[in-house]
């Protein structure tokens, strides 16, 4: 039977009325003839104009067919063979798509989900049924069949995993599970519809499949979670453990927080304010070096999966940072002061994580970068030689990071970077210098960047509120990635990868003549998170979400470390990957109680964005009809031109 990829284009057939209307409105125009005299002409009665008749029927038919074929080509018809069920039997199929992610571990949510499946399954008399359990991928499946006992048995043994859900990757496989012969198709999605899981981009459900969204979420849970644990040795030899707790409830919560480190343990009661985070510090003394395994725990609530956080108490050595500045630049001297103060300052009782050295740009040729992880160019790019740039490129290829800020000669700065291959950024002038631009401030943060871990949606306003007095107008190439944009969507922070390292370029300097950024509360966390992510992993700790694969780390000899035998990456815990320690904990998104409305999700999944739920790639190669329509269209256009030519010759 004929099927269309983009059926909405068939409404364009209404345009076929246009040629018909033009033919009806077309009147033969009178011709003016010049006569020398009218004395010999006799008077005659002019006949009344008769009914308008269709003239040139062949030409009209040709134009109507051209319009019809244009619409059909846009609708992309193809022939699909209709598969008929056995005679006299109407085939009806139902499929249950059951959320198996960690957030479904709430006791009431788990029980509700099972009851929903049982209730709907009992109603499906005469239907063939199946079920799919999914989290990050399909976990278990019972194919669509007449055997409902297998579904009941699967539900009885069902326990959600510790992984985050990714329904967008599973929906196409669920849709493909239906047979083409089914006259009725019904898809049940049973989930808590947690917003962090259901951020869909392109997933759609065909309109011939009935869609039912059954929410299994319990009432808003009084949930508290441990988001992160930081460890650092103090100057007196003691170990400081900083636990980050988050209260997702709308009311104040009292919990017992415990930290186990080796054979030592400490506990205290804490009161968490509603919908806020709180940091709690523990001090451990006289720890043996081998007692590096740690566990932080909150007293249980109705969602216990995020009450434990496993960590390695390993001290990272300070990362070495080199600041290169223009020797005569007052602004760069101020920027260097702000940077050095922020990086070397003790934060929350934790000693310095960075060792900072400042040099004039002209002295780079004599400096050794072997022990340096990060280099800042503070208005110094235009002062470096070709050999200096070659040194920096080699430094990044080996895993180092270079961060660039403009100076007094901003145009020369980006020109030098482009000439020596560090960036392909185009400089287009300055914003703010003559007061022409009003939207001088940050307005967008890349949600997939490392900065999103620090500036979460609830505290992102601090990053966006400071004033920018001036910044460079930049245009990135396809090799740069924009991490921050201004309110008028101009790039503010750009990233480019070089080998194993990175190059970053800011559109403004860390000086008060450019912005108030160095005086804000966002300056220190942004700078530390940026530098911390670029300094590598000197502590040999790797934090993973449950189910996440460890990164591939190449040694100097080219070998890759492998996880120890028996390491379970699907559950929270600690594991070793040779010299690296793996911290495996619940994905933080699974703790968020924010849900998406099912009515909005239903409208989205059944929407016909881009015209259809099928793509051109999904059209079978056999039975394609639109190419035939295209050939006929070309022939008809040729015929129409010949007919028009004939009419012109007649006139």
Mean pLDDT for the stretch of residues 75-81: 70
Q: Are 104 and 216 in contact (CB under 8 A)?
A: yes
Task: Report the predicted TM-score, pTM, of the whole model to 2 decimal places.
Answer: 0.58
Q: Which residues contact 340 (CB under 8 A, 6 or more apart)?
A: 323, 356, 358
- pLDDT number for residue 618: 41
Q: How confident is the model at residue 7 (pLDDT cuts 50, 70, 90)?
A: confident
How wide is the angle at C-alpha 121 spanned by C-alphas 202 and 179, nearest 5°?
50
- pLDDT number for residue 396: 92
Residue ranges of domains in the chain? 92-220+595-618, 224-315+577-591, 330-534
For the chain, the C-alpha Rg in angstroms (whole number) is 35
330-534 placed in CATH 3.10.100.10: no
Residue of 35 and 121 predicted with greater confidence? 121
Residue of 77 and 617 predicted with greater confidence? 77
Q: Are 91 and 85 in contact (CB under 8 A)?
A: yes
Residue of 27 and 42 predicted with greater confidence? 42
Q: How confident is the model at residue 612 (pLDDT cuts 50, 70, 90)?
A: very low
Nearest to 581 by CA among 398, 401, 318, 316: 316
Strands 481-486 and 491-498: antiparallel
Residue of 3 and 299 predicted with greater confidence? 299
Q: Name the range with the highest mean pLDDT among 108-112, 271-275, 523-527.
A: 271-275
Does the pLDDT at position 454 exceed 50? yes
Q: Are 482 and 476 in contact (CB under 8 A)?
A: yes
Please indicate whether the domains covering 92-220+595-618 and 224-315+577-591 agree at the CATH topology level.
no
Q: Please report, for residues 51, 115, 388, 494, the alpha-carbon distance to residue 601 in angstroms, rounded to integers and kept in the order given.
A: 57, 22, 55, 34
Residue of 590 and 26 predicted with greater confidence? 590
Does the pLDDT at position 538 exceed 80? no
DSSP letters, 481-501, are EEEEEETT--EEEEEEEETTE
Neighbours of 155 (CB within 10 A): 19
- pLDDT number for residue 609: 52
Beta-bridge partner residues of 585: 545
Quote the percentage of the chain above a pLDDT of 70: 82
- pLDDT number for residue 439: 55
DSSP letters, 1-32, are -EEESSGGGGGGGGGGHHHHHHHHH--PPPPP
Lowest-pLDDT range, 244-258, 413-427, 431-445, 567-581? 431-445
- pLDDT number for residue 346: 65
Neighbours of 441 (CB within 10 A): 17
Quote the percentage of the chain above a pLDDT of 90: 36
CA dihedral of residues 465, 470, 473, 478 (deg, nearest 10): -40
- pLDDT number for residue 613: 38
Mean pLDDT for the stretch of residues 48-56: 51
Q: How confident is the model at residue 611 (pLDDT cuts 50, 70, 90)?
A: very low
Q: Which CATH superfamily includes the segment(s) 92-220+595-618? A: von Willebrand factor, type A domain (3.40.50.410)
Residue 257 CA, chain-centre distance (Å), reads 34
How wide is the angle at C-alpha 374 spanned by C-alphas 369 and 380, nearest 5°?
85
281-313 CB burial, b ≥16 within 10 A, e <16: ebebeebeeebbebbbbbbebebebbbbbbbbb
- pLDDT number for residue 619: 40
Q: Are 295 and 289 in contact (CB under 8 A)?
A: no
Helices (H), 295-409: 330-344, 386-397
Does the pLDDT at position 435 exceed 60? no
Helix axes of 57-75 and 17-25: crossing angle, nearest 10 degrees: 160
Lowest-pLDDT range, 34-38, 81-85, 333-337, 553-557? 81-85
SS3 311: strand
pLDDT tens profile 197-221:
888 887 888 888 999 999 987 555 7
Mean pLDDT of the chain: 83
252-266 CB burial, b ≥16 within 10 A, e <16: ebebebbbebbebee
Does the pLDDT at position 147 exceed 80? yes
For residue 103, what is the DSSP state?
G
Neighbours of 584 (CB within 10 A): 23
Residue of 563 and 38 predicted with greater confidence? 563
Does the pLDDT at position 48 exceed 60? no
- pLDDT number for residue 130: 94
Lowest-pLDDT range, 157-171, 393-407, 625-639? 625-639
Neighbours of 433 (CB within 10 A): 11
Q: Are 219 and 623 in contact (CB under 8 A)?
A: no
- pLDDT number for residue 185: 93
Q: Which residues contact 604 (CB under 8 A, 6 or more apart)?
A: 200
Q: Which CATH superfamily includes the segment(s) 224-315+577-591? A: Immunoglobulins (2.60.40.10)
Nearest to 291 by CA among 246, 249, 239: 239
Report the distance separating Cα 164 and Cα 166, nearest Å: 7
SS3 301: coil
pLDDT tens profile 362-388:
888 888 887 788 999 998 998 999 999
Q: Please report, for residues 43, 71, 131, 177, 187, the alpha-carbon distance to residue 174 in angstroms, rounded to integers and kept in the order given.
A: 84, 32, 9, 5, 8
DSSP letters, 270-297, are EEEPTT-EEEEEEEE-S--TT--EEEEE
């Amino acid at each position: 039977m004929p099927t269309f990829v983009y059926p909405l284009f068939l409404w364009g057939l209404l345009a076929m009325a246009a040629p018909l209307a033009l033919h009806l409105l077309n009147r033969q125009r009178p011709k003016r003839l010049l006569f020398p005299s009218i004395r010999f002409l006799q008077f005659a009665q002019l006949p009344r104009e008769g009914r308008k008749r269709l003239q040139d029927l062949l030409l009209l038919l040709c134009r109507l067919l051209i319009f019809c074929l244009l619409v059909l080509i846009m609708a992309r018809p193809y022939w699909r063979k209709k598969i008929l069920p056995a005679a006299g039997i109407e085939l009806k199929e139902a499929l249950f798509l059951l959320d198996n992610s960690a957030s479904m571990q709430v006791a009431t949510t788990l029980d509700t989900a099972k009851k929903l499946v049982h209730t709907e399954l009992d109603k499906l008399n005469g239907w063939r049924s199946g079920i799919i359990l999914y989290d990050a991928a399909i976990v278990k499946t019972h194919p669509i069949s007449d055997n409902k006992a297998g579904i009941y048995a699967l539900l009885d043994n069902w326990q959600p995993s510790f992984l985050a859900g990714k329904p967008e990757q599973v929906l196409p496989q669920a849709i493909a599970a239906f047979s083409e012969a089914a006259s009725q198709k019904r898809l049940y999605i049973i989930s808590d519809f947690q917003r962090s899981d259901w951020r869909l981009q392109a997933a759609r459900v065909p309109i011939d499949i009935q869609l039912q969204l059954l929410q299994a979420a319990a009432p808003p849970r009084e949930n508290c979670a441990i988001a992160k644990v930081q460890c650092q040795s103090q100057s007196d030899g003691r170990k400081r453990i900083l636990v980050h707790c988050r209260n997702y409830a709308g009311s104040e919560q009292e919990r017992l927080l415990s930290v186990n480190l080796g054979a030592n343990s400490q506990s205290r009661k804490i009161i968490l304010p509603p919908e806020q985070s709180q940091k709690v510090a523990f001090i451990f003394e006289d720890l043996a070096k081998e007692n590096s395994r740690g566990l932080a725990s909150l007293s249980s609530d109705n969602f216990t999966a995020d009450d434990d956080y496993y960590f390695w108490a390993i001290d990272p050595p300070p990362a070495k940072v080199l600041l290169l500045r223009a020797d005569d630049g007052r602004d760069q001297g101020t920027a260097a002061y702000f940077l050095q103060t922020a990086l070397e300052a003790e934060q929350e009782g934790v000693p310095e994580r960075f060792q900072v050295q400042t040099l004039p740009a002209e002295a780079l040729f004599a400096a050794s970068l072997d022990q340096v992880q990060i280099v800042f160019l503070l208005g110094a790019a235009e002062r470096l030689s070709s050999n200096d740039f070659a040194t920096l490129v080699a430094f990044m290829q080996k895993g180092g990071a270079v961060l660039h800020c403009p100076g007094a000669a901003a145009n020369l700065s980006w020109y030098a970077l482009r000439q020596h291959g560090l960036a392909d950024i185009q400089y287009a002038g300055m914003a703010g210098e003559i007061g022409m631009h009003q939207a001088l401030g940050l307005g967008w943060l890349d949600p997939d960047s490392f900065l999103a871990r620090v500036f979460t949606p609830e505290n992102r306003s601090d990053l966006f509120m400071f004033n920018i007095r001036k910044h460079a107008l930049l245009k990135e190439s396809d090799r740069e990635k924009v991490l921050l944009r201004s309110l008028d969507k101009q790039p503010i922070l750009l990233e480019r990868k070089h080998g194993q390292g990175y190059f970053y370029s800011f559109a403004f300097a860390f000086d008060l003549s450019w912005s108030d950024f160095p005086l804000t509360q966002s300056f220190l966390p942004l700078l530390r998170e940026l530098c911390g992510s670029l300094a590598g992993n000197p502590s040999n700790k790797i934090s993973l979400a449950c189910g996440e694969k460890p990164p591939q780390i190449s040694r100097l000899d080219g070998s890759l470390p492998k996880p120890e035998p028996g390491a379970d990456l699907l559950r929270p815990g600690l594991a070793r990957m040779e010299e690296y320690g793996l911290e495996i904990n619940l994905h933080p998104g699974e703790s968020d109680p924010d849900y998406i409305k099912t009515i909005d999700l239903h409208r989205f999944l059944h929407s016909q964005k881009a015209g259809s739920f099928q793509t051109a790639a999904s059209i079978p190669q056999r039975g394609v009809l639109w190419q035939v329509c295209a050939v006929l269209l070309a022939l008809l256009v040729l015929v129409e031109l010949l007919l028009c030519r004939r009419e012109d010759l007649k006139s």
